[in-house]
């Protein structure tokens, strides 16, 4: 199935792709469509093929913290989050994080994507984004039986039907969904006819990366791009290959570096594979900057600290990190009403029954997903608080510009963030209805059913860093997202929770709830809520920006062709290139980057 070492070590290929994750397998498979082009993918993890922990729907978190599937990253202690380190789970093995995420298939508003072009990247627009995600996806509309349960028909969604990645509407906790969406409507957040056409400002039932034809199992970059191409002679994937550095030809002083190959560790030994065209770094927001730094590309003081010779002075490497933050408000549901939630999986007998029903191809809870979403501007939640917040953000930006304290490129990003905040047609708040208990302070009561309304910060003002800790390629990098370094981020999340509490007091949802479990009745003040957030919030696993696509003098690392500045043929294709965060979960964006990278290399 996967390549043997002797097929790779010392061999020359046209292209080397570092990382068999979401974007990496996408770009590699697309390049291999040309039989005259040879591609090798180096993956640090295992193959994990046909693994029920990955494929089985409803098994959220089954692979987390297991080193077979998870890098098990952790941040440094976060000063502004009560000094706690945050776990950063990331997919390791074929499929990367597309093999361990929560399945949600979402697309950002057009304004967020068009901001990429505004920041100095011609051609990076919504139209391009839509073209590439449509190329990837294969949407199957719900059957009549499922449609009758949905609060919205979903037949107006502009999703592609010819791509290799199956996408579908999961089965939903439809009784609970109707309460949730009806309450949102009472708050002025109406259901969208099409959240996939560049406007996600409203509520909707989201699609997911599931394959209805395969008993509603997960679809990821392994099933979409590896398995259909695995037998091609020009497409090779080597697992258990940890990249230590990119190898460069000798160049004259002042010239751009030319990559000739990649050095990797396999079975404790070091090997080299050669490239005649390009090396594509697709190791993700966390590992991609580390690989560049170990190859001599980055901020000189960082490289000197770890004993790496500086080959390209590129201070933007590992900077401008932005992440989505999740915090949950969990509420107990009325026990007199039958609800289908993930809480039931706490009962071992129920879990066994659902697995048996799955094996028989019958309706079961593994076909359910997280599909109840709403995106909206702060103004919708609280017009007066939003007006005050907008003014304070604007005052901060003006003062920061005048003082000259912002790093290169950040002023332009903040200007766009402020504009988005003020634009009521573009969302900056997300809430998601999760049918089950998903907060991290209390312990759920046995046999109780819950609704957790999660809040996700979309456009953070804090900026973090990710840098190599040492020359050891097997050592994890230092991850410091600087959570809540900007107080605006915490303030927004506090307002999110206050809105969720108002929503919980809105009919018909109010009558369907017994009580709030977390944060609980003792969290009454903004300070109380803020401490709850700092103690219990988690990453939403959407970190971007560590190798930002920006002009070089604006702390950029790659140009609009995704080529690393100071090199002739090193590219980056993963979420690390996103220069400014988007109001959507990010897996669709990762696929789009992989698709576009392939077209760039093909000269299309």
Point out the annotated binding site for FAD.
243
Question: How many residues are there in the chain?
Answer: 604
Cross-strand pairs, 263: 245, 272
Catalytic annotation, pick one of 450, 482, 542, 581: 542
Confirm whether 309 is a catalytic residue: no
Question: Would you list which residues are annotated within the binding site?
Answer: 243
Q: DSSP labels for 127-161?
A: HHHHHHHHHHEEEEPPPHHHHTTSSS--TT----S
Is residue 189 packed enough to be buried (19+ CB in 10 Å), middle (13-18) or exposed (0-12)? buried
Sequence-ordered list of residues with C-beta below 8 angstroms from that of 447, at least 6 positions apart, any chain: 347
Confirm whether 152 is a catalytic residue: no
Phi-psi sector, 406: left (phi>0), alpha (psi -120 to 50), beta: beta
Distances (CA, A) of 501 to 35, 364, 452, 509, 514: 57, 31, 11, 11, 13
Q: DSSP labels for 262-292?
A: EEEEETTEEEEEEEEEEEEE-SHHHHHHHHH
Chain Cα centroid distance, residue 466? 16
- Quickly count: other Cβ atoms within 10 Å of residue 50's Cβ: 11
What are the counts of helices (DSSP H) followed by strands (DSSP E) for the chain? Answer: 16, 26
C-beta separation of 471 from 352 below 8 A = no
Catalytic annotation, pick one of 152, 366, 450, 585: 585
Secondary structure class of 300 (helix, strand, coil): helix
Task: Retrieve residue 603's tokens.
Answer: 């000269």
Q: Where are the beta strands (DSSP E) in 391-512?
A: 429-434, 450-457, 465-467, 478-480
Sequence-ordered list of residues with C-beta below 8 angstroms from that of 357, at least 6 positions apart, any chain: 363, 364, 366
C-beta separation of 25 from 38 below 8 A = no
| H or E stretch covering 353 | helix 348-359
From the list 60, 65, 228, 71, the residue with the least C-alpha distance to 136 is: 228
Point out the residues that are catalytic: 542, 585
């Amino acid at each position: 199935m996967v390549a043997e070492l002797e097929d790779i070590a010392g061999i020359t290929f046209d292209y080397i792709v570092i990382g068999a994750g979401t974007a990496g397998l996408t770009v590699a498979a697309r390049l291999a469509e040309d039989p005259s082009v040879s591609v090798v993918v180096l993956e640090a993890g295992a193959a994990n093929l046909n693994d029920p922990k990955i494929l089985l729907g409803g098994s959220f978190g089954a692979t987390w913290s297991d080193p077979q599937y998870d890098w098990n990253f952790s941040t440094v202690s976060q000063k502004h989050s009560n000094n706690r380190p945050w776990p950063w789970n990331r997919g390791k093995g074929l499929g990367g994080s597309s093999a361990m995420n929560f399945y949600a298939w979402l697309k950002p508003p057009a304004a967020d994507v068009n901001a990429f072009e505004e920041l100095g990247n011609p051609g990076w627009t919504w139209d391009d984004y839509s073209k590439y995600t449509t190329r990837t996806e294969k949407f199957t509309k719900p059957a009549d039986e499922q449609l009758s349960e949905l609060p919205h028909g979903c037949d107006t969604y502009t999703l592609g039907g010819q791509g290799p990645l199956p996408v579908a509407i999961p089965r939903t906790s439809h009784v609970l969904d109707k309460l949730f969406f009806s309450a949102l409507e009472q708050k002025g957040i109406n259901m969208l006819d099409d959240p996939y056409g560049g406007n996600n400002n409203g509520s909707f039932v989201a699609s997911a990366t599931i394959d209805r034809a395969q008993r509603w199992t997960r679809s990821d970059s392994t099933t979409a791009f590896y398995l259909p191409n695995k037998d091609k002679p020009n497409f090779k994937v080597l697992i258990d290959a940890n990249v230590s550095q990119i190898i460069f030809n000798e160049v004259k002083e002042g010239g751009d570096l030319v990559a000739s190959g990649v050095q990797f560790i396999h079975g404790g030994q070091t090997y080299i594979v050669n490239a005649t065209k390009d090396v594509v770094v697709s190791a993700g927001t966390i590992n991609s900057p580390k690989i560049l730094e170990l190859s001599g590309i980055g901020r000189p003081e960082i490289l000197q600290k770890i004993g790496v010779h500086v080959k390209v002075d590129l201070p933007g490497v590992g900077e401008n990190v932005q992440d989505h933050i999740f915090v949950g408000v969990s509420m107990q549901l009325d026990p007199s009403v039958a609800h289908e939630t993930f809480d039931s999986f706490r009962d071992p007998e129920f879990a066994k029954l659902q697995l048996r029903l799955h094996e028989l191809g019958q309706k079961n809870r593994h076909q359910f997903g997280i599909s109840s979403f709403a995106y909206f501007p702060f103004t919708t939640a609280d017009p007066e608080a939003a007006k005050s917040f907008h003014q304070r953000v604007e005052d901060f930006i003006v003062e920061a510009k005048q003082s000259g304290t912002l790093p290169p490129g950040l002023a332009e990003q903040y200007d766009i963030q402020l504009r988005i905040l003020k634009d009521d047609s573009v969302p900056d708040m997300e809430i998601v209805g999760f049918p089950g208990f998903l907060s991290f302070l209390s312990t759920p009561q046995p046999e109780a059913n819950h609704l957790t309304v999660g809040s996700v910060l979309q456009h953070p003002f804090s900026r973090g860093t990710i840098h190599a800790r040492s020359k050891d390629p097997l050592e994890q990098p230092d991850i410091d997202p600087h959570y809540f370094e900007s107080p605006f981020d915490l303030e927004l999340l506090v307002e999110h929770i206050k809105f969720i509490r108002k929503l919980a007091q809105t009919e018909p949802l109010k009558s369907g709830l017994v009580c709030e479990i977390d944060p609980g009745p003792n969290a009454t003040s903004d300070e109380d809520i803020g401490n709850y957030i700092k103690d219990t919030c988690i990453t939403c696993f959407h970190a971007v920006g560590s190798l930002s696509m920006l002009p070089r003098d604006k702390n950029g690392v790659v140009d609009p062709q995704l080529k690393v500045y100071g090199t002739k043929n090193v590219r980056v294709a993963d979420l690390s290139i996103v220069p400014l965060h988007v109001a959507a979960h990010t897996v669709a964006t990762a696929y789009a980057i992989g698709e576009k990278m392939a077209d760039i290399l093909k000269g299309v």
